[in-house]
């Protein structure tokens, strides 16, 4: 009998939740354009606004603050190109969709655990010729390490800066999770990280901020993102957001138990393994582990052949296994960074999934 595959790559894409799949199937039967005023259009509009309410509830904001986009990367681009034309700052461990909008001299250093250097932030704010925009991820996609967003946002906003938070990895993994507690002006979410479909994201925009749309030509999303809304994807996003809300605080506790079980097993079968960022506050679902001898490419290949899916760094770099810019910013040399893989559990992960990975780590990787 063929053994079922094990999926431990939720930070790249979480499997589609049944609730999201059901909502998307129902939306397939809706023919109207959400901008049309006839009955079919109003039915489509109702689905969009229902999903907007769910995503808003997840972020703890009014529905009018939610701007649907085609991805988390697009939402980051929309945030980083506005508001204002002042300088941009971010950490050196941000996702590429943020880093590429910020000049290299605006990449703030992090410590050995991957946490923002507060002194560097204070110095950069003081040296800036004018207030601008600070972008700080809530949790790193490779290591799970949390950034002090609320603390940094308070400092930056006191200096007149706007603050954006890439929070795509946080929903369903951090409770409480809301924009108000972070104290930021803009926040990015992505449906496929929390069990919704790929191809839809959201930028949460605080009241009073004006953004120049990246996509122009229509009045959709209150003029902030032109183009007919992805009705099916948005419906799935809303359903996934409600599933996360329904799971509440119990889910992060379950995920933390899975992660701890995983790391205990890895260290037992490979004492030389290093969990990167282990001394910092982290997401309860993420482990970035470095093997003492084997490269990530060999590890991924052997695990994949055994039916276990994991990754080496961000999925956006698929097609190559290169040294992680995140781990190198944390002080690892290129060789050590190339021996690290990421394991991320999620809503579909079971104890048996974790145990199988640990057994394969001890047996297959020792070959």
Residues known to be catalytic = 316
Residues 343 and 289: beta-carbon distance below 8 Å: yes
Listing from the earlier edge strand, what are the strands of the sheet with 274-275? 274-275, 286-290, 340-344
SS3 for the chain, per residue? CCCCCEECECCCCCCCCHHHHHHHHHHHCCCCCCCCCCHHHHHHHHHHHHHHHHHHHHHCCCHHHEEEECCHHHHHHHHHCCCCCCCEEEECCCCHHHHCCCCHHHEECECCCCCECHHHHHHHHHHCCCCCEEECCCECCCCCEECCHHHHHHHHHHCCCEEEEECCCCCCCCCCCCHHHHCCCEEEEEHHHCCCCCCCEEEEECCCCCCCCCCCCCCCHHHCCCCCCCHHHHHHHHHHHHHHHHHCCHHHHHHHHHHHHHHHHHHHHCCCCEECCCCCCECCCEEEEECCCCCHHHHHHHHHHCCEECECCCHHHCCCCCCCHHHHHCCCCHHHHCCEEEEECCCCCCHHHHHHHHHHHHHCCCC
Strand order in the sheet with 201-205: 66-69, 201-205, 186-190, 162-166, 133-135, 88-91, 107-108
Give the C-alpha separation, 187 to 163, whole Å. 9
**CA-wise closest residue to 17 among 194, 249, 230:** 194
């Amino acid at each position: 009998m063929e053994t079922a595959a094990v999926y431990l790559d939720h930070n790249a894409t979480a499997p589609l939740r049944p609730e999201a799949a059901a909502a998307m199937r129902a939306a397939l039967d809706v023919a109207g354009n959400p901008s049309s005023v006839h009955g079919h259009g109003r039915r489509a509009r109702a689905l969009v606004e229902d999903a907007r309410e769910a995503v808003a509830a997840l972020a703890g904001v009014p529905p009018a603050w939610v701007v649907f986009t085609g991805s988390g990367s697009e939402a980051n681009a929309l945030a980083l190109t506005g508001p204002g034309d002042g300088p941009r700052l971010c950490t050196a461990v941000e996702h590429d969709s943020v880093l590429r909008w910020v000049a290299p001299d605006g990449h703030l250093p992090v410590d050995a655990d991957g946490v923002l250097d507060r002194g560097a932030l204070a110095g950069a704010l003081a040296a800036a010729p004018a207030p601008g925009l600070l972008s700080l991820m809530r949790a790193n996609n490779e290591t799970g390490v949390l950034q002090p967003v609320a603390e940094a946002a308070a400092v930056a906003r006191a200096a007149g800066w706007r603050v954006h938070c890439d929070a795509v990895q946080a929903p369903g993994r951090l409770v409480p999770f809301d924009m108000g507690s972070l104290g930021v002006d803009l926040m990015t979410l992505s449906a496929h990280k929390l069990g919704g479909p790929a191809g839809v994201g959201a930028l949460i925009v605080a009241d009073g901020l004006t953004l120049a749309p990246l996509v122009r030509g229509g009045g959709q999303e209150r003029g902030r993102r032109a183009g007919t809304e992805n009705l099916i994807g948005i419906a799935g996003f809303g359903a996934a957001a409600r599933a996360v809300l329904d799971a509440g605080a119990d889910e992060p506790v379950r995920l933390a138990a899975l992660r701890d079980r995983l790391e205990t097993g890895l260290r037992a079968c490979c004492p030389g393994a290093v969990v990167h960022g282990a001394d910092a506050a982290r997401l309860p679902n993420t482990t970035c582990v470095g093997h003492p001898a084997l490269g990530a490419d060999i590890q991924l290949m052997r695990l994949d052949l055994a039916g276990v899916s994991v990754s080496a760094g961000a999925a956006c770099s698929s097609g190559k296994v290169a040294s992680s810019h995140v781990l190198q910013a944390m002080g690892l040399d290129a060789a050590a960074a190339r021996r690290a893989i990421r394991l991320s559990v999620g809503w579909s992960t079971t104890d048996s999934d974790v145990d199988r990975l640990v057994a394969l780590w001890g047996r297959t990787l020792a070959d």
